[in-house]
Amino acid sequence: MAYDPDNLFMRIIRNELPCVKVYEDDHVIAFMDIMPQSEGHTLVVPKVAGENLLDTPPASIAAAMQVVQRLARAAHAAFGCPGVMVAQFNGAAAGQTVFHLHFHVIPRWTDRPDGAHGRHRADPATLEAQASQWREALR
């Protein structure tokens, strides 16, 4: 598959589509997943074009992973969760649905079942409140 420069995440990066932003720098943007699996489910997306882990420049992957690690460290303070799941999919057969490299950072609890990803759109006010919790924990 050829990389589509008009994919959903590139349109968010170019400010053509809105998102509930958690973090941004010159290399990476992190925003709330609108169809979350769990409270606080966030996506970390390199700004450089790349379909998946296999064809994205290593420097972009490294920049994204630094943000993934920062979010994972901040998850307990932001949401009081005892665990964090980090997920990344390469290709449709692996479950990738947006063909631009991205990492899922998902707070996890032992006493709460995860929801099914991509089934229910979250309330925008709830996502903004959770993004605020992330931003405060990242300070």
Q: Dihedral sign for Cα 117, 133, 75, 19, please.
A: positive
Among the listed residues 27, 76, 100, 102, the single catalytic one is 102
Closest CA to 87 of 71, 110, 63: 71
Active site annotation includes 102: yes
Distance between CA atoms of residues 37 and 39, nearest Å: 7
> 22 vs 91, 116, 138, CA distance in Å?
26, 22, 9
Tell which residue, 117, 19, 34, 103, has the closest CA to residue 69.
103
- The residues carrying an active-site annotation are 102
